[in-house]
C-alpha cells in the first residue's frame, strides 16, 4: 500500500517546492481513479450541488448530502487525504460548526473539513482545531456567498479587497488552519499569500505559484455544462478517464498547468 498522505506530508511538500494535486470527488469509483493516479487531496466539494444535483449554485446542499458523499469517497481513498466542504449555514456559530464537523468526521470519515471565509471565521477555526478537527480555509471567491457578490466574479483586484483577502488568509493560519484554498483571485495576490503563509495554499483560478491546484473533476473531464475560465479539459488528447486524471497530475506537478490563460490579472 502506498503511504497515506498526511497534513505533515503536505507541509513538507510546500517546503520542498513540490506541487500538491487536488481534485473533487463525489463517489467511490472516481475517488479510486484519483487515488491511483497520485492525487494528494480528494476534495468532497459542495460543488456536487451543481455538477450532480443540477442546481444553479451550492446553497441547497445539505449536511446529509455531504456526509453521504464523504463516506463513499473515503472508502476508496487509500492514499489521498479526504477534505470535505462544510455546506452553507453549517458553521454559522462555533458551536454549530463543531457539532457539524464532528458528524462529518465520525459519520462521513472526513479527515479535514473545509469552510469558507477569512478573518471572520478565525474563531470558529480555532474552536474546531481545539477539538482536534483539522481545518482547511477558503478565501477569495466564496461560492456560498454568491448572492452577495452578484455572480461568480474575480475577487481581490481592488487594493482594499486584496488586503482583506490577505489578512483573512493570515488570520486562518494563526487560528490553526492546516491549509487554505485561494479561489479566483489575481495570480500576483495568490503568489504573495503563498509566500507569506507557512501552510500550503491550494489554488483554483489563482495562478501557477500556489503550492497546489484543485479543479472540479467534471471540468477536467470536459463534461460540465459550463466550463469556467480556469478549467482545462484534460480528456482532449487522452483515451480514458484514468489517463486524463494522470495527465492533470503531471501538468500540475510540472507547473505546466495552470497557464496564463487559466489565471486572472
Number of domains in the chain: 1
Asked whether residue 45 is domain-assigned, the answer is yes
Asked whether residue 143 is domain-assigned, the answer is yes
The pLDDT tens digits for 72-127 are: 999 999 999 999 999 999 999 999 999 999 999 999 999 999 999 999 999 999 99
The pLDDT tens digits for 139-157 are: 999 888 766 655 667 888 9
Asked whether residue 200 is domain-assigned, the answer is yes
Asked whether residue 1 is domain-assigned, the answer is no
CA dihedral 151→85→65→58, nearest 10 degrees, is 0
Annotated catalytic, 92?
no
Taking the C-alpha atoms of residue 197 and residue 166, their distance in angstroms, rounded to an integer, is 10
Return the bridge partners of 201, or none.
Answer: 180
Strand intervals (E) in 102-244: 112-114, 135-140, 179-183, 201-204, 212-215
* 242-262: burial string, b at 16+ Cβ within 10 Å, e else: eebbbbbbebbbeeebbeeeb
Residue 258 maps to which CATH number? 3.20.20.60
Average pLDDT, the chain: 94
Q: Determine the structural domain holding residue 66 and report its residue range.
A: 7-262
| Per annotation, catalytic residue among 40, 183, 191, 247 | 183
pTM: 0.95
Amino acid at each position: 500500500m502506498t503511504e497515506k498522505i498526511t497534513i505533515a506530508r503536505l507541509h513538507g511538500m510546500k517546503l520542498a517546492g513540490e506541487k500538491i494535486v487536488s481534485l473533487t470527488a463525489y463517489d467511490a469509483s472516481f475517488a479510486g481513479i484519483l487515488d491511483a493516479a497520485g492525487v494528494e487531496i480528494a476534495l468532497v466539494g459542495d460543488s456536487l450541488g451543481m455538477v450532480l444535483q443540477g442546481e444553479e449554485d451550492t446553497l441547497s446542499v445539505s449536511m446529509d448530502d455531504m456526509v453521504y458523499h464523504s463516506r463513499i469517497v473515503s472508502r476508496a481513498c487509500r492514499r489521498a487525504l479526504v477534505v470535505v466542504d462544510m455546506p452553507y449555514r453549517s458553521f454559522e456559530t462555533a458551536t454549530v460548526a463543531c457539532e457539524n464537523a464532528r458528524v462529518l468526521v465520525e459519520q462521513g470519515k472526513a479527515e479535514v473539513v473545509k469552510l469558507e471565509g477569512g478573518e471572520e471565521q478565525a474563531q470558529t477555526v480555532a474552536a474546531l482545531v481545539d477539538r482536534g478537527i483539522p481545518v482547511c480555509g477558503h478565501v477569495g471567491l466564496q461560492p456560498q456567498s454568491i448572492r452577495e457578490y452578484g455572480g461568480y466574479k474575480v475577487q481581490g483586484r481592488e487594493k482594499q479587497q486584496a488586503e482583506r483577502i490577505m489578512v483573512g488568509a493570515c488570520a486562518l493560519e494563526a487560528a490553526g488552519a492546516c491549509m487554505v484554498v485561494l479561489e479566483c483571485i489575481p495570480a500576483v495576490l495568490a503568489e504573495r499569500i503563498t509566500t507569506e503563509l507557512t501552510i500550503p495554499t491550494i489554488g483554483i483560478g489563482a495562478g501557477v505559484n500556489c503550492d497546489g491546484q484543485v479543479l472540479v473533476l467534471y471540468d477536467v473531464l470536459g463534461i460540465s455544462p459550463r466550463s469556467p475560465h480556469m478549467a482545462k479539459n484534460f480528456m482532449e488528447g487522452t483515451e480514458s478517464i484514468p489517463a486524463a486524471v494522470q495527465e492533470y497530475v503531471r501538468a500540475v506537478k510540472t507547473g505546466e498547468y495552470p497557464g496564463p490563460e487559466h489565471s486572472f490579472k
